[in-house]
Amino acid sequence: MNKYKDILTDNYTYDLPRERIAKYPLEKRDESNLLIYKNKSIKQDSFKNIDNYLQSNSLLVFNNTKVIQARLIFHKETGARIEIFCLEPIAPSDFSLAFQQTEKCKWKCIVGNLKKWKDKNLSRTFQYHNKEYILTATKIESNNSSQYIEFSWNNTQLTFSKVLEAIGEIPIPPYLNRKSEESDKKRYQTIYSKHNGSVAAPTAGLHFTKNVFDKLKNKNIDFAELTLHVGAGTFKPVKSQTIGEHEMHTEHIYININTLQQLINNIGNISVVGTTSVRTLESIYWLGVKILKNNNIRPEDLTISQWEVYKLNQNISTLKALNAIYKYMIDKDRVALSSTTQIIIVPEYKFRVINNLITNFHQPKSTLLLLIAAFVGDDWNKIYDYALNNNFRFLSYGDSCLLMND
């Protein structure tokens, strides 16, 4: 265990010039550059040609989460600007139910300029379909660096989803150093996004277009979907000297039984889009390991904490673990499994489910970069050097890479 926790974060950094961070996306999604890493060699192409590199009759897995307009701006009578960033629902705690609420709901939030929020309530007017309403935010309690806030509004027909649609702002990454714009509502969203809940996009999917999907279908590549709602912690820098001192954020995951069956049928031939899909699939494997350890485990105990997987049985096959979850869902009469994961994937982690990874280029000293280093080993240096020396664009709106295991 200590060999993982003692990993020095300074060993996983690189010099990223500010001008290499893509502040805006390309006009056409699939015109982005694609770095291909296979058999320890590197070449490049355009993303629109990615079908040339993925195997026919394989499975490609996507995260279908949808970014919510999570930033709410209030102004006090004094003119002070208070920003409320919705992180996750508290009452009700289920994302889909929270967005369906009318009149009120409670969320865990980060509040900007909190010291200026002296009164219990903040209010602002907003318009929806040319009618004016009032949204009120009430502080309930503090929880470390976050706040529990109740939102209420004066319309029994208006859902919280519609409230956010009316006045919320898309939470583009802080490293873009700009305000969100109208175009971000569309471009900071994959074309296949479905389920509201993320406060950051699964950016590897931003490159996909209908044209790319059509070319993949022509190679008989099958598609599967899962959901991981990306939390604000994805931008949290690793500031500790060792990774063991860093607290990984918790994220909500969902997978249906049909996707699970697709995974079982395609073991050894699975490509995934984005690190969020990686964390979901690898967490699913470990949930199966936990079920094999205790078949009577309660659904609410089917979660993955940060370092838990490194303590579990390392010798269970992927097929056995996934079959255990499938049987568990059948026995419990469940068509979908919801859980939370805090999994941290670091160098020397052994991947159980994924074979190829489509991803963007990540920040220095980030948990995402450690995940990439776990997948390709020390060659992550070579890959990032190539990208820097060949004018690739970095981070959320940047270019893409396809990492293929031998």
Q: Could you read off the pLDDT of 147-177 as tens digits, one per residue? A: 999 999 998 889 999 999 999 999 999 899 9
| Domain ranges, ordered by start, for the chain | 2-66+186-404, 71-168
Lowest mean pLDDT among 133-147, 184-198, 225-239: 225-239
Secondary structure of 216-252 in the HEC alphabet? HHCCCCEEEEEEEECCHHHHCCCCCCEHHHCCCCCEE
Strand order in the sheet with 131-143: 71-75, 81-91, 104-112, 146-153, 131-143, 121-128
pLDDT above 70 coverage of the chain, percent? 99
Mean pLDDT value of segment 11-25: 96
CB 14 within 8 A of CB 364: yes
Q: Could you read off the pLDDT of 91-145 as tens digits, one per residue? A: 998 999 999 999 999 999 999 989 888 877 899 999 988 899 999 999 998 887 8
Q: What pLDDT shows up at residue 351?
A: 97
Phi and psi torsions of 9, nearest 5°? -70, -25
CATH architecture of 2-66+186-404: 3-Layer(aba) Sandwich (3.40)
Q: What pLDDT shows up at residue 1?
A: 64
Q: What pLDDT shows up at residue 186?
A: 95
Q: Please name which of 398, 379, 388 lies closest in space to residue 37, comparing C-alpha atoms.
A: 379
Q: Could you read off the pLDDT of 244-300 as tens digits, one per residue? A: 999 998 899 999 999 999 999 999 999 999 999 999 999 999 999 999 999 999 988
Q: What pLDDT shows up at residue 238?
A: 87
The answer, yes or no, to whether residue 355 has pLDDT greater than 90, is: yes
Q: Which residue has the higher pLDDT, 213 or 95?
A: 213
CB 346 within 8 A of CB 7: yes
Q: Could you read off the pLDDT of 70-81 as tens digits, one per residue? A: 999 999 888 889
